[in-house]
C-alpha cells in the first residue's frame, strides 16, 4: 500500500481509526482488496509503478460527516481525493492524481432532494447517477427531461463539475448548473448563488446571487467538496426529429461550418452534433486513415474516390426538439441555408412524438432522447478501455483541415499507427467551438500503454502548438495539460495555486487535480 507522502504509518492508522469513528468501521476501506476497487480500470499506467493508486477510502453519508473527515485530514495532513459516483472512466475513474490519497467516496450520498417540472430543475447529492434521476422522473411521471452524457452511470454532479457534455439542447452540463453547497477545506459549509440567502426561494432558479460568481472555481478544481448541486433540466418536448445534410467536396466544409455556426448560435439547430465524413470513413475502412497522413492521397484523389463511390465528403445529422410545427420549420430553414452550397443533399431521419413508450428492443438514439444508456461502450468492445484526448478547436473548417493534417503528421513522426477508437472529426458539445474526442485504446499491457501515452503526450504538445487545448483530461495527464496552459508564465495556474494555498493551507483536498498542487506537495508536479 502506498501511504500519502509525508504521512507516517502511525498517523495514517490513527486517521483511519478516527474516520471509522465518524462513518462507521464498515465505511472505511483499507484492505488491499477493497482499496483495489478504487483503481482506475482504464488506467494507462496499469501494472506500472507510477499508476495512481489510493491508500484507503472513506465513504461518508452526510455533510456533517464530511466536515468531521476534513478536520481529521487537516490534523494528519491526509490528502482526500473526492469522487461522486467514481465513473469518470477515460479520465481516471475513481483514482487520484496523487498516489497515496484517501478516496472520499460520496456514492452513499445519493438523495434526489427535488425535481421541479414547472421551473425545470433538480437538486441532487453527489452519489445520484443519471440512471437514478431518470428513473425517479419516470416513476413520478414528471414532465421533464435530463441530459445524460453517453455513458449514463456517472452522476449529474460529477459530470457537470468536470464540464462534460450530453446530446440534447442542455448539452453543456456546467452551463446548466444552478447553485451548489460546498464543504470547504476548513469544514465550513457554503451555498453559492441565491443559496447564500438563508430563506432563498430561488436557489435553483437564478445562478448568480449577489457579488462575485464563484461556482466556476469548484469545477475541475480542488477548492472544496460539493455536496449538493442544482441542475437545470429541459421541459419534455412534444417531438424530436433529425435529418442529415451532406456536401460533396472537400472545400464545401468552409461554407458548411459557417452555416452550422450561424444556425447553432441562432438557436435554430440545438444539441450536440458530430461532423461526419462518409468518404474519409470509407478511405479508413480500405486501409487508409481519416487523418491526412503524409504521402497519403491528395484532396483531388479523395474527391475522385467520392465520385466513384457516390460518397459525400462531409455530412452531419442535425437534431431538433420541440413542438412539431417549430422543429419542422427549423429543419426547413436549415435546409434552405445549406442549399446555398452547390450539391448539398438532405435526408429526413427519425421523427418521434412524445410521450412515447421506448422498449429495450427499440433502436432509438437513447441519449438524444434524454434516456441514459451504456450503449456507447459497444464502440470499445474487445478492448480494456480507453483514455480520451479532447482538445477544443475553433468552429471553423480551416481548423478541421489543420487538425487532420497536424495529427496525421504527429502520428507519422512518432511512427505509430493512429488507433483512435472513437471519432477523428469534431463534435459541438459546447457553444461556439468544436471539440475532438479521440479515444486512445487502453490495455492491460504495459508496452501498448506506453505507446498510447507517448502519442497522447505528443498530441497534447502538437495541439498546444496550434493553439488548441484540452477541455478535460485523465489524472495521469493533468500536469501535462496544465503545463501547456502557460500564458504569461503560467499566470492562471499561479492564481489557482494562490487560492489553493489560501483556502486549503494543508493541501488536503484532491492534490494535483487539474495540475493544481498545494504548496507542501508542489514538488510532485510532473
Partner 1 sequence: MNMKKAAVLLILMLTAATFAWAGPPQEKDSQLERGHKVYDKWCFPCHGTGVGKPGTDALKARGQNPAVLEERTDLTAALINTVVRHGVGFMPVFRKTEISDAELDAIDAYLMRNNKK
Q: Which residues does the annotation mark as catalytic? A: 91, 471-472
- Cα torsion 166, 484, 399, 432 to 10°: value is 40
Q: State yes or no: residue 108 binds partner 1 (CB under 8 A).
A: yes
Q: How many residues does the chain have?
A: 526
Measured CA to CA, the distance from residue 227 to residue 230 in angstroms comes to 10
CA atoms within 13 A of residue 382's CA, in its CB half-sphere: 2
Position 9 contacts partner 1 (CB under 8 A): no
What are 478's three cell numbers? 493533468
Site for partner 1 contains 25 (CB under 8 A): no
Residue (34 or 417) nearer to partner 1, CB: 34
| 41 belongs to the binding site for partner 1 (CB under 8 A) | yes
Give me 186's grid cell. Answer: 476548513
Per CB under 8 A, 360 contacts partner 1: yes
Q: What CA–CA distance (Å, rounded) separates 524 from 526?
A: 6
Interface residue with partner 1 among 12, 18, 19, 38 (CB under 8 A) is: 38
Position among 2, 39, 520, 522 found at the interface with partner 1 (CB under 8 A): 39
Judge residue 347's burial from the number of C-beta atoms within 10 Å of its C-beta, 0-12 exposed, 13-18 middle, 19 or more buried: exposed
Give the number of other CB atoms < 10 A from CB of residue 345.
15
To partner 1, the closest distance from the beta carbon of 459 in angstroms equals 22
**Does residue number 500 form part of the binding site for partner 1 (CB under 8 A)?**
no
Choice between 282 and 377, CB closer to partner 1: 377
Piece of the chain touching partner 1 by CB under 8 A; list 103-111, 254-262, 269-277, 342-350: 103-111
Using the rule CB under 8 A, is 308 a contact of partner 1? Answer: no
Pairwise CA distance, residues 20 & 37, whole Å: 19
Other CB atoms within a 10 A radius of the CB of residue 24 amount to 13
Helices (H), 272-367: 278-285, 299-309, 324-338
In the complex, minimum distance from the CB of residue 364 to partner 1, in angstroms, rounded to a whole number: 8
d(CA 149, CA 377): 12
Please report where in the chains the cell 505507446 appears, as a residue: 451
Does 107 help bind partner 1 (rule: CB under 8 A)? yes
User: Residue 409: which residues within 8 A CB-CB, separation 6 or more?
Assistant: 293, 294
Per the structure block, which three cell numbers stand in for 1? 500500500
Stretch that binds partner 1, among 80-88, 227-235, 300-308, 492-500 (CB under 8 A): 80-88
Nearer to partner 1 by C-beta: 361 or 488? 361
Contact call for residue 136 and partner 1 (CB under 8 A): no
316 makes contact with partner 1 (CB under 8 A): no
Q: How far does the chain reach from its first CA to its final CA, in angstroms?
A: 22
- Give whichever of 93 and 271 is closer to partner 1, judged by the CB atom: 93
- Classify the phi-psi angles of 352: left when phi > 0, otherwise alpha if psi is within -120 to 50, otherwise beta: beta
Q: How far is the CB of 222 from partner 1 (least distance, A)?
A: 21
3-state helix/strand/coil string of 59-77: CCCCHHHHHHHHHHHHHHC
Residues 163-202 interacting with partner 1 (rule: CB under 8 A): none
Of the pair 111, 520, the CB lying nearest partner 1 is at 111
Site membership for partner 1, residue 419 (CB under 8 A): no
Q: Is 32 in the site for partner 1 (CB under 8 A)?
A: no
Distance CA 426, CA 396 (A): 10
Indicate the residue among 54 and 515 with the shorter CB distance to partner 1: 54
Of 166, 228, 154, nearest in space to 191 by CA: 228
Among 19, 131, 338, 422, binds partner 1 (CB under 8 A): 131
**Among 261, 373, 424, 510, which residue sits at the site for partner 1 (rule: CB under 8 A)?**
373
Smallest separation, CB 521 to partner 1 (Å): 26
Q: Which of residues 383-412 bind partner 1 (CB under 8 A)?
A: 383-386
Question: Does residue 94 touch partner 1 according to CB under 8 A?
Answer: yes
> Of 201, 382, 447, 487, which one interacts with partner 1 (CB under 8 A)?
382
Contact 184, 80 (CB under 8 A): no
Nearer to partner 1, 80 or 341 (CB): 80
Interaction mask 319-358, partner 1, x per CB under 8 A? ----------------------------------------
CA distances from 302 to 214, 281, 408 (A): 50, 11, 16
CA 54 to chain centre: 22
Give the residue among 178, 181, 176 at the shortest CA–CA distance from 164.
176
Nearer to partner 1 by Cβ, of 32 and 488: the residue is: 32
281 makes contact with partner 1 (CB under 8 A): no
Q: Which residues bind partner 1 (CB under 8 A)?
A: 27, 29, 33-34, 36-39, 41-42, 47, 57, 59, 85-87, 89, 93-94, 105, 107-108, 127, 131, 152-153, 359-363, 366, 372-378, 380-386, 444
Amino acid at each position: 500500500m502506498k501511504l500519502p507522502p509525508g504521512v507516517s504509518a502511525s498517523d495514517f492508522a490513527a486517521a483511519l481509526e478516527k474516520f471509522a469513528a465518524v462513518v462507521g468501521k464498515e465505511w472505511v476501506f483499507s484492505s488491499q482488496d477493497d482499496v483495489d476497487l478504487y483503481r482506475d480500470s482504464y488506467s494507462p499506467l496499469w501494472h506500472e509503478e507510477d499508476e495512481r493508486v489510493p491508500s484507503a477510502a472513506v465513504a461518508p453519508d452526510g455533510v456533517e460527516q464530511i466536515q468531521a473527515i476534513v478536520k481529521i485530514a487537516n490534523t494528519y495532513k491526509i490528502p482526500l481525493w473526492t469522487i461522486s459516483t467514481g465513473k469518470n472512466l477515460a479520465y481516471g475513474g475513481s483514482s487520484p492524481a496523487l498516489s497515496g490519497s484517501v478516496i472520499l467516496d460520496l456514492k452513499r450520498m445519493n438523495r434526489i432532494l427535488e425535481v421541479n417540472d414547472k421551473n425545470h430543475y433538480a437538486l441532487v447529492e453527489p452519489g445520484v447517477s443519471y440512471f437514478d434521476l431518470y428513473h425517479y422522473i419516470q416513476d413520478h411521471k414528471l414532465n421533464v427531461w435530463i441530459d445524460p452524457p453517453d455513458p449514463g452511470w456517472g452522476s449529474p454532479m460529477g459530470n457537470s463539475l468536470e464540464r462534460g457534455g450530453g446530446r440534447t439542447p442542455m448539452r453543456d452540463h456546467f452551463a446548466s448548473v444552478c447553485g451548489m453547497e460546498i464543504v470547504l477545506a476548513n469544514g465550513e459549509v457554503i451555498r453559492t448563488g441565491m443559496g447564500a440567502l438563508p430563506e432563498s426561494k430561488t436557489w435553483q432558479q437564478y445562478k448568480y446571487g449577489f457579488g462575485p460568481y464563484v461556482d466556476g472555481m469548484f469545477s475541475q478544481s480542488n477548492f472544496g467538496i460539493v455536496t449538493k448541486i442544482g441542475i437545470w433540466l429541459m421541459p419534455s418536448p412534444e417531438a424530436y426529429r433529425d435529418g442529415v445534410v451532406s456536401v460533396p467536396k472537400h472545400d464545401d466544409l468552409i461554407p458548411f461550418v459557417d452555416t452550422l455556426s450561424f444556425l447553432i448560435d441562432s438557436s435554430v439547430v440545438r444539441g450536440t452534433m458530430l461532423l461526419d465524413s462518409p468518404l474519409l470513413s470509407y478511405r479508413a475502412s480500405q486501409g487508409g486513415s481519416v487523418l491526412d497522413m503524409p504521402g497519403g492521397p491528395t484532396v483531388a484523389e479523395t474527391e475522385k474516390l467520392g465520385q466513384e463511390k457516390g460518397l459525400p465528403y462531409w455530412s452531419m445529422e442535425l437534431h431538433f426538439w420541440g413542438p412539431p410545427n417549430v422543429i419542422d420549420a427549423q429543419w426547413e430553414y436549415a435546409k434552405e441555408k445549406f442549399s446555398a452550397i452547390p450539391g448539398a443533399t438532405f435526408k429526413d431521419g427519425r421523427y418521434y412524438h412524445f410521450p412515447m413508450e421506448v422498449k429495450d428492443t427499440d433502436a432509438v438514439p437513447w441519449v438524444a432522447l434524454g434516456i441514459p444508456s451504456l450503449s456507447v461502450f459497444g464502440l470499445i468492445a474487445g478492448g480494456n478501455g480507453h483514455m480520451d484526448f479532447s482538445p477544443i478547436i475553433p468552429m471553423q473548417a480551416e481548423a478541421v483541415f489543420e487538425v487532420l493534417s497536424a495529427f496525421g503528421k504527429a502520428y507519422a513522426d512518432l511512427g505509430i499507427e493512429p488507433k483512435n477508437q472513437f471519432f477523428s472529426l469534431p463534435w459541438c458539445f459546447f457553444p461556439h467551438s468544436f471539440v475532438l474526442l479521440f479515444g486512445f485504446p487502453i490495455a492491460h499491457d504495459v508496452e501498448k500503454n506506453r505507446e498510447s501515452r507517448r502519442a497522447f503526450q505528443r498530441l497534447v504538445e502538437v495541439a498546444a502548438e496550434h493553439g488548441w487545448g484540452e477541455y478535460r483530461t485523465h489524472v495521469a495527464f493533468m500536469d501535462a495539460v496544465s503545463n501547456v496552459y502557460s500564458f504569461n508564465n503560467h499566470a492562471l495556474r499561479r492564481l489557482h495555486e494562490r487560492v489553493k494555498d489560501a483556502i486549503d493551507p494543508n493541501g488536503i483536498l484532491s492534490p494535483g487535480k487539474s495540475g493544481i498542487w498545494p504548496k507542501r506537495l508542489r514538488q510532485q508536479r510532473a
